[in-house]
Structure 1
Amino acid sequence: MSSVCHSSRQGESASARPPFVWRLGEVVSSLDAAFLLALRGRLIVWDSLLAASQTAGRGQLRRRWASPPGNIYAALRLPPAPPFDGTAASPLMGLLLALALREEGWPVELKWPNDLVLRVMGGMPRKVAGILLEERGGILLAGIGVNVNNAPPATALRKESALEAASLAQTASAPGLTLPPAELLWERLVKHMHSSYTNGLSQPGQWKTHAEQLLLWRGREVELHDERQSAHGRLVGLSTTGGLCLRVNGKLEEFLSGSLRLTEASVKG
């Protein structure tokens, strides 16, 4: 494995320098490549790897993630400490990425637990980014995919997919908003995320408040489905453990996993 941009010295502490970015060409998986770097002591906390493309990228439930050149396919090493050591890790990571993209001019929202969406095409939300957390031997990584220049067509998505996809390039028409190359954009996003985390968003009360402000469909009637259960209720917010809080038949309930979508009544309304 070789880097075309940056390298890191073994044993160097995360506080000694800004986060490093390794930039590679085509890889099998940015997560797999990053784990190898971390095991060799070359990827410390807040360092990341950015690949030009992937031949076997993966998303939730190990579903294949299409990875053509022009997008962000990154793996970011996270601190194995609260709140990243529990179920709050996914929505917190989603919040950090959402705030970073908003700093760059894209008003994304957080679709619980780990997707980011933009409202395009008449206000309909479309997925522009996804996050997959993996832990191996005490090494915690966030696999991050952002549709910068390309997005999969509706025909390539799963039939049960709640939202269609879009790219940042499709929404870069606002005055003064320009789309940098994926490599440059990722370096900016990492700096934003690291800054947000170190400036208070690692605290449960802080990240929860900010995440709820960006939470897609808050106050709407939604459906939550997973392999074991389904629920219908009003989306109230988040718990400090990262769970989704729904009011179901007048009772507030917390859910830690599932696929979220609007109910048919909410869509028509």
Structure 2
Amino acid sequence: MDLETRHLRQLLSNAQQLPEVLLLKQSTTSTNDDVREIAQNGIKTILVCSEMQTQGRGQHQRTWISPVGNIYLSTLLETRTALDGRLALEIGLNVLQSPSLKALKHLQIKWPNDLYSPQGKWGGILVEPISPHQAIVGIGLNLMPLPPDQIDQQTTSVMQLGVQYPNRIQIISEIYLAIQQAGQWFDHGCYNLAARFNHYAAFMDQNVHFEQVKGPISGVFRGISDDGSVNLETAQGLVNVYQGRLRLAD
């Protein structure tokens, strides 16, 4: 067992959250796919991390740029409550409270699953349900700046946001624990979700476009409701939207 794996096992053991399977890889196609394969053997607690992914993906199967040196991790999460879109919001909120990150200023969440800041996106969350009460949760986190020629949107990194020497193994352990904590918040009804999320919401009170299957809609982003839906103030009044992609108006 290498030193990094031993260190991570010790951190999670100290927190009484050591999974049955813990893998640290140098490279993989997708950590979510790794967890899916392991879960087929009936294993309930899994953590897979990789230094890079060759086929990383985000929401709606969009490609997730996964160069060497950042954090790409996936785990299996079981909930008593039937899964819905609030889980990703709870995961984002709990990640922001991680000890290595919570002192950073201006951290945000861009609905529904981007870890964000005024400088751009620094991470993302992918929740892939495999049953009504079980999901694979993947998180990608930019520890270091991404190569400019590999990205098509504004991004930043944990280093650029103020963590001068990010401890990768420490942050992996904190993110894993944050996911477990988010599951507990979810199972207890996501108490006061709207107020907690809107405190960190990107694009609050700004003009936005909302891309959805039945056509785009524009308005002013007024945060979310407790059920996780977006409140969009349009010329026709306040509209609640449950699925789609949010972006700033041009």
User: 3-state DSSP class of the match of 1:252?
Assistant: strand
8 Å CA contact 1:31–1:141 kept in 2: the answer is yes
1:169 aligns with 2:159: yes
Provide the residue aligned with 1:73 in structure 2. 72
Measured in 2, the distance between the counterparts of 1:33 and 1:152 equals 26
Measured in 2, the distance between the counterparts of 1:217 and 1:140 equals 28
Provide the residue aligned with 2:12 in structure 1. none
- Give structure 2 stretches of 5+ with no counterpart: 10-14
Q: Give the counterpart letter for 1:126 in structure 2.
A: G
Q: Give the counterpart letter for 2:139 in structure 1.
A: I
Provide the residue aligned with 2:26 in structure 1. 25
8 Å CA contact 1:53–1:67 kept in 2: the answer is yes
Provide the residue aligned with 1:150 in structure 2. 145
8 Å CA contact 2:91–2:182 kept in 1: the answer is no
1:208 aligns with 2:202: no
8 Å CA contact 1:50–1:183 kept in 2: the answer is no
Measured in 1, the distance between the counterparts of 2:84 and 2:227 equals 7
Measured in 2, the distance between the counterparts of 1:170 and 1:105 equals 10
1:131 aligns with 2:159: no
What is the CA distance between 1:48 and its match in structure 2? 2.3
Q: Deviations 1:75-129 (Å, cap 9, x if unpaired)? A: 12222333x611222222222223326426364201011001123xxxxx30000
One of 210, 228, 243 as aligned partner of 1:257: 243
- Give structure 1 stretches of 5+ with no counterpart: 9-15, 120-124, 265-269
Q: Deviations 1:194-221 (Å, cap 9, x if unpaired)? A: 3465478843333332111111121222
Measured in 2, the distance between the counterparts of 1:79 and 1:260 equals 28
Q: Deviations 1:143-202 (Å, cap 9, x if unpaired)? A: 11001123242x4334xxxx4111112222xxxx44323222111232344346547884
Measured in 1, the distance between the counterparts of 2:217 and 2:205 equals 15
How many residues are aligned here? 240
User: 3-state DSSP class of the match of 2:143?
Assistant: coil
8 Å CA contact 1:72–1:183 kept in 2: the answer is no
User: 3-state DSSP class of the match of 2:191?
Assistant: helix
8 Å CA contact 1:34–1:43 kept in 2: the answer is no
The 4+ residue runs of structure 1 with deviation greater than 6 A are none
8 Å CA contact 1:232–1:248 kept in 2: the answer is yes
Provide the residue aligned with 2:59 in structure 1. 60
Decide whether aligned partners of structure 1 residues 164 and 224 sit closer, same or farther in structure 2, where only a CA change above 3 A counts.
Answer: same
8 Å CA contact 1:89–1:242 kept in 2: the answer is no
Measured in 1, the distance between the counterparts of 2:183 and 2:202 equals 22
Provide the residue aligned with 1:122 in structure 2. none
Q: Give the counterpart letter for 1:5 in structure 2.
A: T
Q: Give the counterpart letter for 2:130 in structure 1.
A: R
